[in-house]
């Protein structure tokens, strides 16, 4: 690119290319009217009507800005060696499932917002390493070979905390390691709400939290996670009928099965996402108490995702869900959305989400979000396994860091790693 500057047309091109791609979310495509530039520095997004996710869809990390010449020259962005951007770091090496290496961009444009005048980034090099062995993580932390690690599960985290008390850490509820259980509500017998209620009542959610997560988990993790405080409602604050679903009442579950015409249970297909096999075995153990038997399918991850996307599965399916915007998560169960794997098809829910998307008042948005969450919890087109905590650890010599893994929805290293530094004197004084 010969070092040319970023201009508005670059931004317009990247968003327009995303918009023209059919994998762009349906709501984004439905509400956006046009993307234009008015001068060298101004991009204008016009929406067909008021749309509460307008800012989120622009800044939440959906679209990365790159030089359009990359597409016209190479046809796609599949080769990382061809990528050109304006960020604080440039990738110099990439090994799939192993190591990612970045070096500082000497011409990065930004300065520190907290310490005015300081040129960013502070670090000269950042290396991301994928650890597959928990023992290797412990060894790297103890020997100072790594400065921070992310998303450590509770059991391993407690070992690290007790054996290396000098480390800093931050914990937050996570979803991605736990299954989201999808129920095909258009199929018999899952189309009967009494069956779906029985499935919930037969699960000892508190027992799972106590025994599987050692007490370090929350029961409600999807579609709204605890981090979204203005939208989140804790289980103890939910309506009584929703609280009851998490009460572990096998007697009532069996009564509901009988009332629905299945006193001795039924047989159902169960598509298990590979990383959730342990949790799904636990769920099947509870449901066998109701006489339910299973046709289990455990394909590889790519096949499982393909079956979900095409709705080429029956009965019960599972997938893992990550952290994203709460309103975005709620749109996934609207009848026209690609992610409506459960075939919820509830006109009242569709209308509520349409009203939410057209609402720009934050207080009204929060009210409508809570109403939508109650509706899906009550109708049970899906439910989430309890969410454990993920722990981020970092060495005391890592400064201006507080456990972040993303800022403003942008995943990856660039945003926060450009603003942290290493106190070499402290590191040396600690013997590293």
Tell me, yes or no, whether 72 and 100 share the same domain. Answer: no
| Within-domain flag for 258 | yes
Tell me, yes or no, whether 295 and 409 share the same domain. no
Q: Does the structure show a pLDDT above 60 at 405?
A: yes
Model pLDDT, residue 322? 64
Token representation of residue 186: 């258009």
> What are the start-end ranges of the H helices in 110-227?
134-142, 154-163, 193-201, 205-207
- Does a structural domain hold residue 153? no
Average pLDDT for 293-297: 97
- Summarize the confidence of residues 286-311 as an average pLDDT: 94
pLDDT for residue 119 is more than 70: yes
57, 101: one domain: no
Question: Which one of 36, 65, 86 terminates a domain?
Answer: 86
Domain boundary among 86, 109, 139: 86
Q: Is the pLDDT of residue 332 over 60?
A: yes
User: Considering the domain boundaries, does residue 245 fall inside one?
Assistant: yes
Mean pLDDT of 53-81: 86
In a domain, 171, yes or no: no
pLDDT at 316 over 90: yes
> What is the total count of domains within the chain?
3
Asked whether residue 401 falls in the same domain as residue 259, the answer is: no
Q: Please tell me whether residues 232 and 265 are part of one structural domain.
A: yes
- What pLDDT, on the 0 to 100 scale, is given for residue 133? 83
Residue 238 and residue 340 in one domain: yes
Same domain, 183 and 260: yes
Instruction: Write the DSSP assignment of 196-263 as a string of letters.
Output: HHHHHHTS-HHHIIIIISTT-EES--SSS-TT-TTT---GGGS-HHHHHHTS--HHHHHHHHHHTT-T
Q: Is residue 142 located within the same domain as residue 201?
A: no
Domain end residue (candidates: 355, 373, 388) = 388
Greater pLDDT, 231 or 150: 231
107, part of any domain:
yes
CATH number of the domain that residue 266 is part of: 3.10.105.10
Average pLDDT over residues 323-337: 85
Residues 183 and 60 both lie in one domain: no
Above 70 in pLDDT, residue 414?
no
Would you say residue 409 has pLDDT above 70?
Answer: no
Task: Specify the range with the lowest mean pLDDT, choosing from 25-29, 196-200, 404-408.
Answer: 404-408
Cα(first)–Cα(last) distance of the chain, in Å?
41
pTM: 0.84
Give every CB contact of residue 127 below 8 A, 6+ residues apart in sequence.
99, 100, 101, 102
Q: In terms of domains, do 382 and 253 share one?
A: yes
- How does the average pLDDT of the chain come out, rounded? 90
Q: What are phi and psi of 105, to 5 degrees?
A: -85, 110
Q: With cut-offs at 50, 70 and 90, classify the pLDDT of residue 264.
A: very high
pLDDT at 114: 87
What integer pLDDT is reported at residue 323 of this predicted model? 63
pLDDT at 336: 86
Q: Quick check: 427 pLDDT over 80? A: yes
Is 167 part of any domain?
Answer: no
Can you tell me the distance from the alpha carbon of 23 to that of 12, in angstroms, rounded to the nearest whole number? 18
Q: Are residues 217 and 292 in the same domain?
A: yes
Nearest to 219 by CA among 203, 230, 205: 205
Give pLDDT, residue 309: 86
The answer to whether position 169 is within a domain reads: no
Kindly state whether residue 154 falls inside one of the protein's structural domains.
Answer: no
Residues 322 and 307 in one domain: yes
Instruction: Note the pLDDT tens digit of each residue in 2-16.
Output: 788 999 999 999 999
Domain that holds residue 281: 179-388
Would the pLDDT of 175 be above 60? no
In the predicted structure, residue 384 carries a pLDDT above the cut 80: yes
């Amino acid at each position: 690119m010969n070092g040319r500057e970023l201009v508005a047309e670059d931004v317009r091109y990247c968003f327009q290319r995303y918009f023209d791609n059919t994998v762009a979310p349906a709501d984004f495509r439905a509400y956006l009217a046009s993307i234009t530039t008015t001068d060298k520095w101004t991009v204008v997004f016009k929406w067909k009507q008021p749309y509460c996710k307008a800012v989120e869809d622009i800044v939440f990390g959906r679209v990365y800005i790159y030089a359009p010449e990359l597409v016209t020259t190479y046809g796609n962005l599949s080769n990382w060696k061809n990528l050109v951007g304006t960020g604080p770091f440039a990738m110099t090496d990439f090994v799939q499932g192993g190591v990612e290496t970045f070096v500082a961009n000497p011409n990065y444009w930004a300065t520190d917002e907290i310490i005015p005048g300081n040129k960013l980034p502070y670090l000269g090099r950042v290396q991301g390493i994928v650890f597959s062995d928990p023992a290797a993580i412990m060894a790297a932390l103890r020997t100072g070979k790594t400065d921070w690690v992310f998303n450590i599960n509770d059991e391993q985290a407690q070992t690290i905390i007790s054996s290396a008390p000098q480390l800093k850490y931050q914990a937050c509820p996570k979803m991605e390691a736990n299954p989201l259980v999808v129920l095909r509500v258009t199929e018999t017998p899952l189309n009967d709400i009494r069956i779906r209620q029985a499935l919930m009542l037969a699960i000892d959610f508190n027992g799972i939290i106590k025994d599987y997560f050692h007490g370090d988990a929350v029961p409600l993790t999807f579609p709204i996670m605890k981090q979204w405080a203005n939208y989140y409602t804790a289980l103890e604050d939910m309506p009584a009928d929703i609280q009851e679903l998490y009460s572990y009442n096998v007697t009532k579950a069996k009564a509901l099965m009988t009332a629905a015409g299945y006193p001795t249970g039924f047989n159902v297909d169960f598509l298990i996402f590979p990383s959730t096999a342990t949790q799904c075995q636990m769920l099947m153990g509870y449901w066998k108490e109701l006489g339910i038997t299973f046709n289990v399918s455990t394909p590889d991850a790519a096949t499982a995702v393909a079956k979900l996307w095409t709705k080429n599965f029956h009965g019960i399916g599972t997938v893992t869900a990550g952290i994203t915007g709460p309103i975005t998560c709620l749109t996934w169960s609207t009848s026209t959305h690609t992610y409506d794997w459960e075939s919820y098809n509830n006109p009242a829910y569709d209308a509520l989400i349409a009203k939410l998307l057209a609402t720009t008042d934050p207080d009204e948005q929060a009210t409508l979000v809570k109403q939508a969450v109650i509706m899906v919890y009550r109708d049970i087109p899906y439910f989430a396994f309890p969410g454990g905590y993920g722990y981020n650890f970092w060495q005391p010599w890592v400064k201006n860091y507080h456990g972040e893994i993303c800022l403003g929805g942008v995943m990856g290293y660039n945003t926060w790693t450009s603003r942290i530094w290493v106190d070499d004197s402290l590191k040396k004084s600690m013997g590293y």
